[in-house]
């Protein structure tokens, strides 16, 4: 059996003593997450976190944006600006410019206050979703690094 690192020794001591101490709770959590039985479920949860909120956000957005006149005009503009996915970099560049133009128009209120409010909610939700993914996947990467056996 390989020698345990100082961090592993500390985490084991904290877990056995039941006292978190300075930084102990974090290392106990990292040790727990690195347990093979827990790790697989944790990673499955991470992938659910990666997919489910964006799917729900997409469904919410598309079911509500068309309820206003401005939202219907926005969706019509979006449908007219679709590109061929195999069109290459020029089409991708044109699509990015059109998306930025639409976002600017929404922010300026060209499609009404409801569309602007929805856009801001989507930005906040997507930002929080990205931070949650960074934290969740970062924790498992950190746990793997902390609990890696030397050699």
pLDDT digits (tens, 9 = 90+) for 34-60: 888 888 999 999 999 999 999 999 999
Q: Give the pLDDT band of residue 126 (cuts 50, 70, 90).
A: very high
| Residues 119 and 125 sit within 8 Å (Cβ to Cβ) | no
Inside any domain, residue 32: no
Inside any domain, residue 106: yes
- The total of structural domains in the chain comes to 1
Inside any domain, residue 149: no
Chain CA centroid to CA 66, Å: 26
Inside any domain, residue 35: no
> What is the per-residue pLDDT across 59-84, written as a single tens digit (0 to 9) for each?
999 999 999 999 999 999 988 887 77
- pLDDT over 70 (residue 89): yes
Give which of 52, 62, 68 is closest to 122, Cα–Cα: 62
pTM for the model:
0.71
């Amino acid at each position: 059996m390989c020698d345990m690192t100082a961090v592993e020794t500390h985490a084991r001591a904290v877990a056995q003593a039941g006292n978190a101490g300075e930084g102990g709770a974090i290392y106990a959590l990292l040790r727990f997450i690195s347990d093979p039985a827990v790790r697989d479920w944790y990673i499955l949860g991470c992938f659910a976190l990666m997919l489910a909120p964006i799917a729900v956000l997409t469904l919410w957005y598309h079911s509500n944006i068309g309820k206003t006149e401005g939202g219907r005009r926005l969706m019509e503009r979006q449908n007219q600006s679709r590109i061929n996915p195999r069109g290459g970099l020029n089409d991708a560049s044109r699509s990015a410019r059109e998306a930025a133009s639409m976002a600017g128009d929404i922010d300026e209120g060209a499609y009404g206050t409801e569309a602007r409010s929805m856009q801001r909610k989507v930005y906040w939700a997507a930002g929080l979703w990205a931070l949650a993914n960074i934290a969740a996947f970062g924790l498992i990467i950190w746990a793997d690094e902390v609990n890696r056996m030397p050699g």
